[in-house]
Structure 1
Amino acid sequence: MPKEFIEMEIPVPYGSIKAKAWGSASTHSHQILALHGWQDNAGSFDTLIPLLPDSVYVLAVDLPGHGLSSHLPPGCPYHDLVFLMEVKRVVDHMNWTKFTILGHSMGAAIGMFYSCLYPKTVTKVIAIDMIKPLSFPAEELAKRTSDGINAFLTLEHKNSIPPVYDHKTTVEKMISAHAIYGSLTEEAAECLLKRGAKVSSDGKGEYFTRDNRIKAVLFQRMDSEALLNYLQNIECELIIIKAKNGIQLDPQEVNQKFIQLYERKCKTFKLIEVEGQHHVHLIEPQNVVSFITNEFNITNGN
């Protein structure tokens, strides 16, 4: 895949979804929608996509409030249902009827949900370092929901003018923000900052482009049993590429229930473990690229 890409802008009622596209949508049969993780952006795939074969077309989007995409209007909370709706807008804009979702972390969860909502359109979901979407014990659902609402309202009332930092501090803050998920290298941080930061109007520093309110995304609140029922509709091919030192959101016995569901419901299911941390696709893309290209029965350069 050439390193060159084009910037795309997909109109939505509140502004636009920004995206990076590699390849030619009209000549490539393998269409891939790349969805980044929470508080990341399309730059999350910058080191991986150039390693993919020339015969694929990849559209990597900035989800609302992330990267260069428009922020939701004042008063509108971020929710993974909002992200799902925007994915549908993107798919409709591209006139795609069959495509693959390549998702990292939250993007992988969105891909799984989307494949259940529109099972006839998604042929594959390739999930990087995500076994299953978030779920919570049933007795915690009400409190977690109220905590999420309170967190969003608190962020909403904060000063909307983003602070300005020098570049070194911006890099340090990006690395620090991801420390909970593992070590982000300076090079990886720079990839994310190409879309994750802009030079201030006075030219004296940089500010983060993301909407600060995305720190309080109101994810769908379900216990594991409800989530199992939701995912009964999954029927695509599912490939999970799990980093050995990645995130562990659930006990193994919970993950195993979902693995058994995938084995029953998916056309094909593979669980592949690779060396690396949560952002393995960005920091060590060579560890994952062969497993992705293998799914399309294509070799690099063809």
Structure 2
Amino acid sequence: MAAPEELPWEEVEVDVLWGKIRGKRVDLKGGGRQVVCLHGWVDNANTFDLLIPHLPAGLTFLSLDLPGHGLSDHLPLGCHYDIYTYVRSVHKVLAQLGWTKVVFISHSLGCLVALYMAVLYPEYVDVMVNIDFVSIENAPVDFVEDQRKALDHLADAERKRFTDPPVYTRDALLEKMVEGRRHGRGLNHYPIDGRIAEILFPRAAKLCPGRQGYIWRHDIKLKARFTKTIGYANWLRMVDVVSCPVLLVRATNGVSETLSDNKLREIVSTYRANGGSMDFVEIEDKHHVHLTSPVKVAEVITDFFRKINIGTLSQELELKARL
């Protein structure tokens, strides 16, 4: 199987009115079925580089940098990032490219965006593959305190926009990428290693002219997160609307490890009650399972694609099954 760096990626840029959304595109053996890949919080389009080479031929992949991430533009001062910012931006990208009825392969925050797309713009979503994101609400949270903290983060980030950002050596920034994901929530379920940090690095950092070092590319306003306003009841209502085939890949030690067994069963049964094909698979690993166990995740996705017989892939998958 080709190494990630050997894939003939092509950079993509789409104007979404307030700025540019950027990403990269590759066709596997001629392409065909269109797949949109959406990364997690403070990751970038490179997060799927280890997974995609192990997926079947006959696919065209578009891996996007969400607003404020990677090479995509930052929102203007006075604006904050929320789920609608992400969803409207992805919708504008697909509308301008003329892509409809696509397959979404998403991780973490990207799964939330894909779910909203499936609920609000179902004509754009034909299949949804969510990697380690089962529910927005995994543990009790003080709503008022949480939202005040988000507003404080926003104000602090906007003040820092007028100061020089910290500059790091390449090695120091790679180490911060590893450490930041290891202790993201005070739990050890995010870890990546230096090899994975190197994959994310080109879209995560940039040289700072004249200061002999690297700075982050992502917008520091991303720390102000407002996703917990949804609530579990509304989450179930959204899940109940989804009618396309869905694959949930859950890391056993990932972000949903605090989700109760009752809620997990309720979410899965709600997806299954919609009439569309729905698979739920657990993999023994942690949150970035698509990077740490890409072959296992690819096998699960390929089996699901074979099961639902998604169009142009059917012959390729049957051939692979016989080999």
Encode CA deviations 1:75-110: one digit per residue, 9 max, x unaligned.
111111100111101110221121111010111121
Aligned to 1:209: 217
The structure 1 residue matched to 2:252, chosen from 236, 244, 248, is: 244
Determine if contact 1:113/1:231 at 8 Å carries over to the other structure. Answer: no
1:133 is the counterpart of 2:142: no
Matched ranges for 1:176-215 at <5 A? 176-180=179-183, 181-202=189-210, 204-215=212-223
Structure 2: tracts of 5 or more residues without a match: 184-188, 307-315
In the TM superposition, what is the alpha-carbon distance from 1:134 to its structure 2 partner?
3.7
Separation of aligned partners in 1, 2:26 and 2:15: 19
Task: Quickly say closer, same or farther: Cα 1:282–1:174, change in 2 above 3 A.
Answer: same
Q: Which protein is richer in helix relative to its size?
A: 2
The structure 2 residue matched to 1:271, chosen from 274, 280, 283, is: 280
Task: Quickly say closer, same or farther: Cα 1:224–1:140, change in 2 above 3 A.
Answer: same
In the TM superposition, what is the alpha-carbon distance from 1:136 to its structure 2 partner?
7.2
Encode CA deviations 1:89-140: one digit per residue, 9 max, x unaligned.
1110221121111010111121112101122331111010111234776x94
Specify the SS of the correspondent of 1:299. helix
The structure 2 residue matched to 1:32, chosen from 30, 35, 38, is: 35
Determine if contact 1:238/1:270 at 8 Å carries over to the other structure. Answer: yes
In the TM superposition, what is the alpha-carbon distance from 1:255 to its structure 2 partner?
2.2
Task: Quickly say closer, same or farther: Cα 1:224–1:78, change in 2 above 3 A.
Answer: same
Determine if contact 2:247/2:280 at 8 Å carries over to the other structure. Answer: yes
Matched ranges for 1:159-170 at <5 A? 159-160=161-162, 161-170=164-173
In the TM superposition, what is the alpha-carbon distance from 1:159 to its structure 2 partner?
4.4
Separation of aligned partners in 2, 1:91 and 1:133: 25
Separation of aligned partners in 2, 1:29 and 1:87: 20
1:70 is the counterpart of 2:78: no
Specify the SS of the correspondent of 2:229. coil
In the TM superposition, what is the alpha-carbon distance from 1:59 to its structure 2 partner?
0.3
1:221 is the counterpart of 2:229: yes
The structure 1 residue matched to 2:126, chosen from 113, 123, 135, is: 123
Q: May I ask how many residue pairs the two structures share in their alignment?
A: 300
In the TM superposition, what is the alpha-carbon distance from 1:192 to its structure 2 partner?
0.8
User: For residue 233 of structure 1, what is the amino acid of its counterpart?
Assistant: V
Specify the SS of the correspondent of 2:212. coil
User: For residue 152 of structure 2, what is the amino acid of its counterpart?
Assistant: N
In the TM superposition, what is the alpha-carbon distance from 1:230 to its structure 2 partner?
2.8
- When structure 1 is superposed on structure 2, of 291-300 and 6-15 the one drifting more is 291-300
The structure 2 residue matched to 1:111, chosen from 93, 111, 114, is: 114
In the TM superposition, what is the alpha-carbon distance from 1:246 to its structure 2 partner?
1.6
Q: Percent identity?
A: 29
Determine if contact 2:128/2:244 at 8 Å carries over to the other structure. Answer: yes
1:17 is the counterpart of 2:25: no
Determine if contact 1:238/1:266 at 8 Å carries over to the other structure. Answer: no
* CA RMSD after TM alignment: 2.2
In the TM superposition, what is the alpha-carbon distance from 1:24 to its structure 2 partner?
7.4
Separation of aligned partners in 1, 2:280 and 2:125: 19
Specify the SS of the correspondent of 2:305. coil
Separation of aligned partners in 2, 1:238 and 1:36: 17
User: For residue 198 of structure 1, what is the amino acid of its counterpart?
Assistant: K
Task: Quickly say closer, same or farther: Cα 1:159–1:76, change in 2 above 3 A.
Answer: closer
Q: What TM-score does the superposition give when structure 2 sets the normalisation length?
A: 0.86
Matched ranges for 1:1-16 at <5 A? 3-16=7-20
User: For residue 35 of structure 1, what is the amino acid of its counterpart?
Assistant: L
Determine if contact 2:21/2:64 at 8 Å carries over to the other structure. Answer: yes
Aligned to 2:49: 46
User: For residue 20 of structure 1, what is the amino acid of its counterpart?
Assistant: K
Separation of aligned partners in 1, 2:291 and 2:240: 31
